[in-house]
Amino acid sequence: MALLTHTLGYPRIGTRRELKKALESFWEGKLSQQELLSIGSQLRKEAWLEQTQQGIALPASNDFSLYDHVLDALWLVGAIPPRFGQLASEPKIDWEVYFRMARGAPGVAPLELTKWFDTNYHYLVPEWHDARFCLCSHKPVEEWREARQLGIETKPVFLGPLTLLLLGKPQERLAELLPPLCTVYRQLFAELAREGVRWVQLDEPFLCTELPSSLLEAYRSAYAFLAEAEPRPNLLLATYFGELAGNWTVVRDLPWEGIHVDGVRAAHELPPLLATFPKGKVLSLGVVDGRNVWKNDYARSLALLEEALGVVGENYLWVGPSSSLLHVPLSLEKETKLDRQIVPWLAFAREKLGELAELADLATRAWKQDPRFLANQEILRQRKSSPLVTRPEVRSRLASLNPSLFRRKNPYPIRRLAQRSSLHLPPLPTTTIGSFPQTPEVRKARAKWKSGEWSQKEYETFVENEIKKVIELQESLGLDVLVHGEFERTDMVEYFGELLEGFVLTENGWVQSYGSRCVKPPILYGDVSRSRSMTLRWIRYAQTQTQKPLKGMLTGPITILRWSFVRDDLGEKEVAYQLALCLRDEVCELESAGIRVIQVDEPALREGLPLRKSQWPAYLEWAVGAFRLATSGVEDRTQIHTHMCYSDFGDIWQAIVDLDADVISLEAARSGFSLLELFTRFPLPNEIGPGVWDVHSPRIPTVEEIYQALLHMARAVSPDRLWVNPDCGLKTRSYKEVVPSLRNMVEAARKARETLLAKKDLERAG
């Protein structure tokens, strides 16, 4: 008998990104609500049928969402902040209010958006200020029935009450909100049990983080209360994204009927877990990686399953992916252009289902001789020994790294003098973060080139022309350090993935980022090397168009790593250093070509932080190391910039300073300049450009407000260390907004220079 297979959640967007298209048409008014809902139900149906066909015994339900599963959870428990509208008297999702919460409306800010643990999925942050709870939607029951009508039994999934509360803000009300929230969960359980639901899954990924004892106590009381629901389905407590570690002693005694553990990231925990595993309860082992795209290693998975089988027995052992499959692309089937040697090494969501079914079957047999096992091992052997994966020249360069490669030649005060005499910048220099608007014309041109309609030459002429225009614009606006506009890049990571050895790109490997937004991460499969220059061509052309300093623009090693699917056969530190060496060569090449300012963006530095704080220092050490390795090859006079945005900088401030970049631009306007408060408490980086324009809003900032912001900043940062720039790149804005905003920014900088310099002269005279 095979073990029971289940899933924790499946991709929602559809094979052809149907959800994205439907949502966008609906928002444009081209699709009715009824049509949108029926596309949703079609997508659910396809997902369930697919899972059943691939041999999954218990697929998830209630994992589908038209926008975000955290938003759905808020509707389920009726936690709708009053500013979005009133709840209807009957429990039902009001789709107008639902999308207002996700996207805002004139005068109504949407819920905040933030990263789902350490993934690239973004969820809407619950607001708990005046939250109250009631069972407010029947979505889980309705979707369960929908599957039932197809003859498929599913397991509804929910966010567990503590994870739901911990995802929101403010946290102070948690103790007060927990009991009424749990009451709603009990109603829900009763409703589901009466319907005939046998199992529900409660997602509690926070159990894989460090929790204070007060929270562990909250888990204990909440689950004791939930378990008393009458009637109720069996509870599968789902933990994922890491290890339970010390939390296990509490988790073990919670009243669940089954527990899911992450058999990929926490495989090392299995022996202690099994040693104290409660009798007669289900263990679901997530042996297939829900976060990455590599074919499963059956030897590893089957060894784990065998170990568990010996303790819990086959009636109590389930097989699943480590987490929801939301984080991987749907299927390899449509990848016709991927390197045929690499395809067999990969497994997207659909292929992972097949692996689960096969593993569940093999686990109860003499698998070591089974042809399916042997075939799997043969592919892994091929991958391991492939010359595509290991490049001796990369390995030997990595082995010969020495500390001097991680240090600039001289400390900042000396570099500063060299840079001053080389760049001749005014005080409070103005610049931008790199990209200029990606207009429909730019996107059309790229599509024409990719489809072959345009020759290489035609495309290059087009890009050069865009660069020329944007340089003229920056000159006329009076900016001090110019950029080329990044018109040749669809995406700041994909662009480098296309040019570096060791990456492949998919045609359809889309993964939901939030709502209708999807990303297509490159796949980093082997040792990374750079066989051609990546950005020089464009930046050199741009430099021929201006006498002003031009800023070369690169994506940093950590950001490339974090926004790709990364190989699982080499440590992240090694991969980051390989990327850093490629970037180092590019940086040095730019320098030799006369580029005197080079920016290496690291917007993903913070999100790479491990979920457990105890692992932060180790991560930050190699992450900072990778940046320094990439940027330390240049002379003193070459100015290195970096940029980061949309994250809390406070708890990684020292690491930001340790990057030793000459100039750091950070998003500050969006977060109300709260950044400045840090400067009063901590050492300053060398030079800093806190953003003065919130580029995520269509609003054009006035001269006066930017001027005031600069005066405000100059109180925290010495004016001779201060730069003037927007929060982030201008890619998503239109020229209608960009031109007046930058004009105001330059004018405000001019005014601030006058004021601050006059003040300085006065001080000197006094």
Residues contributing to the annotated binding site for 5-methyltetrahydropteroyltri-L-glutamate: 17-20, 115, 120, 517-518, 563, 607
Q: Is 696 a catalytic residue?
A: yes
User: What does the alpha-carbon distance between residue 511 and residue 11 come to, in Å, rounded to a whole number?
Assistant: 8
Q: Is 415 in the site for ligand GLN (CB under 6 A)?
A: no
What would the two tokens of residue 480 be? Answer: 């001090």
Q: Which of 696, 755, 704, 666 is nearest to 104 (CA)?
A: 696
Place of tokens 């994992």: 63
Beta strands in 69-216 (DSSP E): 113-115, 122-124, 155-159, 199-203
Could you say which of 69, 268, 424, 696 is catalytic? 696
Binding site for Zn ion (CB under 5 A): 603, 645, 728
- Say if CB 549 and CB 481 are below 8 A apart: yes
Smallest distance, Zn ion to C-beta of residue 727, A: 7
Cis peptide before 231 (omega within 30 of 0): yes
Interface map 630-669 toward ligand GLN (x if CB under 6 A): -------------x-x------------------------
Amino acid residing at 292: N
Interface map 238-257 toward ligand GLN (x if CB under 6 A): --------------------
Q: Is 728 in the site for ligand GLN (CB under 6 A)?
A: yes
> What interhelical angle do 69-76 and 95-103 show, nearest 10?
130
Strands of the sheet with 597-601, listed across from one edge:
551-555, 597-601, 639-644, 663-666, 687-690
- Say if CB 584 and CB 657 are below 8 A apart: no
User: What does the alpha-carbon distance between residue 191 and residue 347 come to, in Å, rounded to a whole number?
Assistant: 37
Q: Which of 729, 746, 749, 752 binds ligand GLN (CB under 6 A)?
A: 729
Question: Which positions make up the binding site?
Answer: 17-20, 115, 120, 433-435, 486, 517-518, 563, 601, 607, 643, 645, 658, 667, 728
Stretch that binds ligand GLN, among 8-16, 211-219, 668-676, 725-733 (CB under 6 A): 725-733
- Say if CB 172 and CB 209 are below 8 A apart: no
Q: Is 553 in the site for ligand GLN (CB under 6 A)?
A: yes
Helix (H, G, I), strand (E, B) or coil at 554: strand
Amino acid residing at 237: L
Smallest distance, Zn ion to C-beta of residue 711, A: 24
57 or 738: CB nearest ligand GLN = 738
Interface map 501-540 toward ligand GLN (x if CB under 6 A): ----------------------------------------
Q: Which of 259, 242, 156 is nearest to 206 (CA)?
A: 242
Q: Is 7 in the site for ligand GLN (CB under 6 A)?
A: no
User: What does the alpha-carbon distance between residue 383 and residue 387 come to, in Å, rounded to a whole number?
Assistant: 9
User: What does the alpha-carbon distance between residue 97 and residue 175 come to, in Å, rounded to a whole number?
Assistant: 28
Binders in 117-146 for ligand GLN, by CB under 6 A: none
Question: Which positions make up the binding site for Zn(2+)?
Answer: 643, 645, 658, 667, 728
Q: Which of 434, 522, 625, 633 binds ligand GLN (CB under 6 A)?
A: 434
CB half-sphere exposure, 500, CA atoms < 13 A:
31
Stretch that binds ligand GLN, among 51-59, 291-299, 537-545, 723-731 (CB under 6 A): 723-731
Smallest distance, ligand GLN to C-beta of residue 146, A: 39
Interface map 602-621 toward ligand GLN (x if CB under 6 A): -x------------------
User: What does the alpha-carbon distance between residue 634 and residue 715 come to, in Å, rounded to a whole number?
Assistant: 32
Choose among ligand GLN, Zn ion, none what residue 165 binds, the Cβ cut-off being 5 to 8 Å by kind: none
Choose among ligand GLN, Zn ion, none what residue 291 binds, the Cβ cut-off being 5 to 8 Å by kind: none
Stretch that binds ligand GLN, among 96-104, 257-265, 433-441, 590-598 (CB under 6 A): 433-441
List, in sequence order, every residue forming a beta bridge with 345; answer none if it has no partner: none
Dihedral angle over CA of 610, 613, 618, 619, nearest 10? 30
> End-to-end CA distance of the chain, in Å?
90
Interface map 668-707 toward ligand GLN (x if CB under 6 A): ----------------------------------------
Catalytic residues: 696
Q: Which residues lie near ligand GLN (CB under 6 A)?
A: 433-435, 486, 492, 553, 601, 603, 643, 645, 728-729, 731
